[in-house]
Amino acid sequence: MAENSTHRISADDLSAFVKRLFLAAHTPDDIAECAARILVNADLAGHPSHGVLRIPDYLRQIEAGGMDTSARPEITRELPGTASVDARRGWGHHAAHWSMDLAIRKARDTGMAGVSLDNCNHIGRLGEYAEQAAAAGCIGIATFGFGGPGAGAAAPYGGTQRALGTNPIAIGVPTGDDTPFVSDFATTIIADGKIRLAQAEGAQLPPDYILDRDGRPSTNPDDFFDGGSLLLAGGHKGYALSLATCLLAALTGRYDAENKRIVGVFVMAIDIGAFQDAESYASDVRAFLRGITDNPPAPGIEKVLAPGEMEQRSREARTAHGIDLPIVVWRRLCDGAERLGTPIP
């Protein structure tokens, strides 16, 4: 089979396979189900860079002792509308989902609530947690910030050395139907997961996405992993947003003074019903978005879309027809299954 070919698998079969992998790695059943669902949902939504592609890295992290698969998040500080949570180096996907659920429940009582999340492993696609809040009738906000000298994968605006992560921001808003508004983007031009995907597929990157280790523009994904860096989206504007995610992350209270570094997750839920009738709000949002997207498309564009519509279209198509995984990704998953003694579908 050619290296650039794909392996097609149904979402249900992939979810069951991924869950078996996590169970074999001594993950409790409910946490394994949660992490598997979130990862496969990223592939369904058309964001494979944050999907099962990541699993071999997680398995290596577990084998190296960097993740406690049985750990559950704990509240370390709490007020009616806020909480500080320690993820205890467990599954980040479960910890983030648990924390957004906590924020939603608190928002029901206080109108809006925020939760900071510390000691957290990779949480995957932030849009997942924005969608989670929207499905509960809330506006959801999720951010991840990482920064400091030598940290992350991007140089600050005007700089030449890595000092910031991809530092994404996601906002979800209910629309009264199965397609919420979901804005989810890295503050870099591209997320490093998409570079991993391009590398796995043997593809080149568009120009002006990355620099090589000598600060020269490159389209080769290998150059990024060989000491290169990401470029920030929007120049100084993306730089400011990237720093803002770090300052929200600092709400964990765990500033690394020795290395001058900040890292953490922050999620927030706003209960629409605290401000107005939630159903009317959602209906108004959908009508507003239709007014925006009912716009003559530019040449080469089929239709103007609102954030979240592309993901829903992808989810429907891949649920019906299956998920195409690059063969190199599928082989890595199978290698992990063999090491764990897990049946391969």
pLDDT tens for 36-65 read: 999 999 999 999 999 999 999 999 999 999
pLDDT in tens, 169-180: 999 999 999 999
pLDDT at 196: 84
Alpha helices per DSSP H over 111-231: 127-135, 192-201, 221-225
Whether the predicted pLDDT of 311 surpasses 60: yes
User: Cα–Cα distance between 235 and 160 in angstroms, integer?
Assistant: 13
Instruction: Give the residue-averaged pLDDT of 135-153.
Output: 97
pLDDT at 193: 79
The H or E element spanning position 141 is strand 138-147
Instruction: Give the residue-averaged pLDDT of 68-81.
Output: 98
Whether the predicted pLDDT of 334 surpasses 90: yes
pLDDT band of 1, cuts 50, 70, 90: very low
pLDDT at 4: 55
Q: Which residue has the tokens 């027809």?
A: 321
- If we measure between CA atoms, which residue out of 132, 67, 124, 127 comes closest to residue 98? 132
pLDDT band of 2, cuts 50, 70, 90: very low
User: Cα–Cα distance between 169 and 166 in angstroms, integer?
Assistant: 10
Residue 94's CB is within 10 A of a number of other CB atoms, namely: 25
Average pLDDT, the chain: 95
* Range 199-203, long-range pairs (CB < 8 A, 24+ positions): 199/225, 200/53, 200/326, 200/328, 200/329, 201/4, 201/326, 201/328, 202/3, 202/4
pLDDT in tens, 76-130: 999 999 999 999 999 999 999 999 999 999 999 999 999 999 999 999 999 999 9
Percentage of residues in the chain with pLDDT exceeding 90?
A: 88
pLDDT at 103: 98
User: Cα–Cα distance between 324 and 9 in angstroms, integer?
Assistant: 7
CA dist 156 → 98, 213, 264 (Å): 32, 15, 19
May I ask the CATH class of domain 1-70+321-345? Answer: mainly alpha
Instruction: Give the residue-averaged pLDDT of 6-16.
Output: 97
User: Cα–Cα distance between 308 and 327 in angstroms, integer?
Assistant: 28
pLDDT in tens, 279-308: 999 999 999 999 999 999 999 999 999 999
Q: Taking a C-beta distance cutoff of 8 angstroms, is the pair 271, 108 a contact? A: yes
Q: Where in the chain is the domain with CATH 1.10.1530.10?
A: 1-70+321-345
Q: Where in the chain is the domain with CATH 3.30.1370.60?
A: 71-188+232-294
Q: What architecture is domain 71-188+232-294?
A: 2-Layer Sandwich (3.30)
Instruction: Give the residue-averaged pLDDT of 183-212.
Output: 89
pLDDT band of 201, cuts 50, 70, 90: confident
Q: Which residue has the tokens 């924020």?
A: 103
Full-prediction pTM beyond 0.85? Answer: yes
Query: What is the DSSP-derived secondary structure letter of residue 232?
Result: B
